[in-house]
């Protein structure tokens, strides 16, 4: 197919709208660096647009009708939205689905230790990353600590300009002869990703040792906590072993009222620090962490808010755990989405299991996830005529999987033809692609999971440079075309009319 650079099709008004959409998207990226943060921001926004929480409606036994707007959150890490259409939901929904988790490093449950006067947090990387890309760059810590009494403490450290940042260290080039001979996968080992978080020892001024006579007056809550720990361990003030770790614990106690054992019930994510930025002298691109797959998640829920002519019920699913196989209670393989649809049908007076099955089987879905942008610097990894080009519009992957389409949802030709017709009528720039050469590339999305219901599903998204790196690059024009395409899909897709 002939690819068109989308920028060449824009008039001044459309380009202005594209740039405005990109600015809003950058705010979403900055405020949503974890799945929890994304869900919080989305819920705050959609409630202002009239969306009501499903469990609250169930509790009140509220009857639902066409035009009603409903959402459901699962474990604060996945969310589904419904805008009920005029047609019977038994005829199916038009669904947009994306994931809001991204590759990163997670703090372990017993993470805090000290070695040679440096305090560390031990981590475990999440999803597919090149580990060597994460060393030496400024990092931030986001997440929650849930204490035994049920109190939830929210942490977000490293994003404000006057916040401290944290980092993984690397071996200096002068001593790296052996390291440089290793394969890239071994240059930095997973267990070497220990986060540097402190270097200042905890000492009580004017005390030779910590004994029963030490006065607690004038000490902060954190300092008292550290002093008590020293007493219990019979550690003298002059002994520096573990003093840096104690200093960090004192700070955590003062700032957040959390103790070392609270790490057991914590979910703390380590992500690149800093804001999403315009890239290129022409400001045509965005460079930011987490665009896989928030670059699809943001236009997906925004499209549901923007779509006007809702005939078939519009649905947006934003899920967790895609980067590790869509597992767990908040991943797409969980039953939370099916349960939400069943509860929705109950409030519509449609309680039978057959209506649920028909609703899901008759639905149409765009499984919205990113694809790899052709990179001429690494052309040997791609089959160029079937690769996605940056700036040439949103991309459809008829299939994903790996080698022989293993693990793929191979979409029906009839479905792709219906999409082509809608997009051509709406003058939306799109392209088709696959993820790398046949025997080299491959990847997966949530598409195959929804396809298990028998519905039509195809992968759709935008091309990304530096995918799974700390900072990923996208084209603003591709993002805006995807948003326009999602709106058209929600308003026009109905396979019964094709």
Q: Half-sphere exposure (CA, 13 Å, Cβ side) for 377? A: 3
* E strands in 173-296: 194-198, 266-272, 277-279, 285-288
Give domain limits for the chain: 6-102+289-497, 104-271
CB 432 within 8 A of CB 1: yes
3-state DSSP assignment of residue 277: strand
Q: What is the pLDDT of residue 270?
A: 98
Q: What is the pLDDT of residue 162?
A: 94
Q: What is the pLDDT of residue 18?
A: 98
Beta strands 371-372 and 463-464: pairing type? parallel
Locate tokens 């000290």: which residue?
Answer: 114
The CATH number of 104-271, from 3.20.20.140, 2.40.30.30, 3.40.50.620, 2.30.250.10, is 2.30.250.10
The CA-based angle 209-256-146, given to 5 degrees, is: 115
3-state DSSP assignment of residue 6: helix
Beta strands 167-168 and 78-83: pairing type? unpaired
b vs e for 297-310, b when ≥16 Cβ sit within 10 Å of the residue's Cβ? bbbbbbbbbebeeb
Sign of the alpha-carbon dihedral angle for 140, 142, 147, 152: positive
CA-closest candidate to residue 443, choices 394, 484, 409: 409
Q: pLDDT digit of tens for each residue in the chain (498 aa)?
A: 788 999 999 999 999 999 999 999 999 999 999 999 999 999 999 999 999 999 999 999 999 999 999 999 999 999 999 999 999 999 999 999 999 999 999 999 999 999 999 999 999 999 999 999 999 999 999 999 999 999 999 999 999 999 999 999 999 999 999 999 999 999 999 999 999 999 999 887 655 555 444 555 678 888 888 887 777 777 766 566 788 999 999 999 999 999 999 999 999 999 999 999 999 999 999 999 999 989 999 999 999 999 988 999 999 999 999 999 999 999 999 999 999 999 999 999 998 899 999 999 999 999 999 999 999 999 988 889 989 999 999 999 888 777 777 777 888 899 999 999 999 999 999 999 887 777 776 777 888 999 999 999 999 999 999 999 999 999 999 999 999 999 999 999 886 655
3-state DSSP assignment of residue 435: coil
Q: How far apart are CA 473 and CA 286, in angstroms?
A: 6
What residues have CB less than 8 Å from 179, skipping those under 6 apart?
Answer: 171, 187
Reported pTM:
0.93
What residues have CB less than 8 Å from 93, skipping those under 6 apart?
Answer: 82, 85, 312, 313, 314, 315, 359, 363, 364
CB 303 within 8 A of CB 17: no
Locate tokens 């804001």: which residue?
Answer: 275
The CATH superfamily of 6-102+289-497 is Zn peptidases (3.40.630.10)
């Amino acid at each position: 197919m002939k690819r068109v650079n989308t920028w060449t099709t824009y008039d001044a008004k459309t380009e202005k709208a594209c740039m405005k959409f990109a600015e809003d998207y950058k705010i979403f990226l900055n405020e949503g660096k974890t799945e929890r943060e994304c869900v919080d921001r989305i819920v705050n926004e959609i409630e202002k647009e009239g969306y009501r929480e499903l469990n609250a409606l169930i509790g009140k036994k509220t009857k639902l009708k066409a035009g009603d707007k409903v959402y459901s959150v699962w474990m604060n890490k996945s969310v589904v939205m419904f805008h009920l259409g005029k047609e019977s939901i038994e005829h199916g929904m038009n669904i947009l689905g994306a994931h809001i988790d991204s590759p990163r490093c997670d703090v372990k449950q017993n993470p805090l230790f000290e070695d040679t006067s440096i305090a560390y947090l031990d981590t475990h990387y999440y999803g597919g990353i090149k580990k060597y890309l994460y060393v030496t760059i400024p990092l931030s810590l986001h997440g929650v600590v849930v204490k035994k009494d049920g109190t939830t403490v929210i942490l977000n450290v490293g994003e404000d300009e006057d916040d401290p940042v944290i980092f993984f260290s690397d071996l200096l080039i002068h001593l790296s002869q052996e390291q440089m001979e290793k394969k890239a996968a071994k240059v930095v080992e997973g267990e070497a990703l220990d986060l540097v978080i402190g270097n200042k020892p905890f000492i009580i001024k004017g005390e030779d040792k910590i004994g029963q006579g030490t006065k607690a007056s004038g000490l902060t809550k954190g300092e008292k906590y550290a002093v008590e720990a020293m007493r219990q361990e019979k550690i003298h003030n002059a002994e520096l072993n573990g003093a840096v770790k104690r200093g960090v614990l004192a700070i955590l106690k003062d700032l957040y009222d959390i103790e070392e054992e609270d790490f057991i019930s914590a979910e703390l994510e380590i992500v690149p620090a800093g804001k999403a930025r315009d890239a290129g002298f022409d400001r045509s691109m965005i460079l930011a962490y987490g665009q896989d797959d928030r670059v699809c998640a943001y236009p997906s829920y925004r499209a549901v808010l923007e779509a006007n002519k809702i005939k078939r019920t519009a649905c947006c699913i934003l899920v967790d755990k895609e980067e590790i196989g869509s597992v767990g209670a908040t991943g797409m393989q969980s039953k939370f989405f099916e349960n939400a649809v069943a509860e929705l049908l109950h409030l519509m007076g449609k309680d039978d299991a057959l209506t649920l099955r028909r609703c899901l089987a008759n639905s149409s879905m765009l499984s919205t996830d990113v694809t790899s942008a052709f990179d001429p610097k690494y052309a040997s990894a791609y089959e160029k005529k079937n690769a996605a080009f940056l700036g040439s519009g949103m991309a459809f992957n008829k299939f994903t999987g790996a080698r022989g389409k293993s693990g793929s949802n191979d979409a029906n030709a009839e479905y792709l033809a219906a999409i082509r017709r809608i997009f051509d009528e709406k003058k939306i720039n799109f392209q088709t692609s696959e993820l790398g050469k046949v025997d080299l590339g491959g990847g997966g999305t949530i598409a195959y999971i929804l396809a298990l219901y028998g519905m039509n599903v195809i992968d759709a998204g935008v091309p990304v440079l530096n995918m799974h790196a700390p900072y990923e690059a996208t084209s603003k024009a591709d993002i805006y075309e995807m948003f326009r395409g999602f709106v058209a899909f929600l308003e026009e897709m109905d396979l019964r009319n094709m």
